[in-house]
Amino acid sequence: MSQEDLCDIFCQSKGTVAKTLRKLEDKGYIERIINKDNRQKYILKLTKKGDELIPVLKREADHWHNAVGLAEVSGETMDVIRAVARKSYNLVNE
């Protein structure tokens, strides 16, 4: 996964994503490896410490989905919600 992928997924600017990734790297959760094909880009990789955090994050995400009622929402509806959020973000940041 690349920084650009995360910008698209989370509808965040490159600067915001880079700052967040730097913090995660400093805390030992990820590694940023320079892409051999394009030295201006990074490939992101979880460290062992980052891998160990996955079950905790999944549990918290499930709890949040249940708390706000998203557990009952179909996959198709979630896709629509994500698309609307992405379009809204893009409109605000034009």
**pLDDT (tens digit, 9 = 90+) per residue, 70-82?**
888 888 988 888 8
Integer Rg of the chain from CA: 16
> Is 0.75 surpassed by the pTM of this model?
no
Task: Enumerate the H helices of 3-94 as residue ranges.
Answer: 3-10, 14-26, 48-68, 75-92
Q: What is the pLDDT of residues 3-39, one digit of tens each?
A: 888 888 888 888 999 999 999 999 999 999 988 998 8
- Indicate the domain borders of the chain: 3-92
| Topology (CATH level 3) of domain 3-92 | Arc Repressor Mutant, subunit A (1.10.10)
Determine which helix (DSSP H) or strand (DSSP E) holds 45, and give its type and residue range: strand 42-46
Helix (H, G, I), strand (E, B) or coil at 69: coil
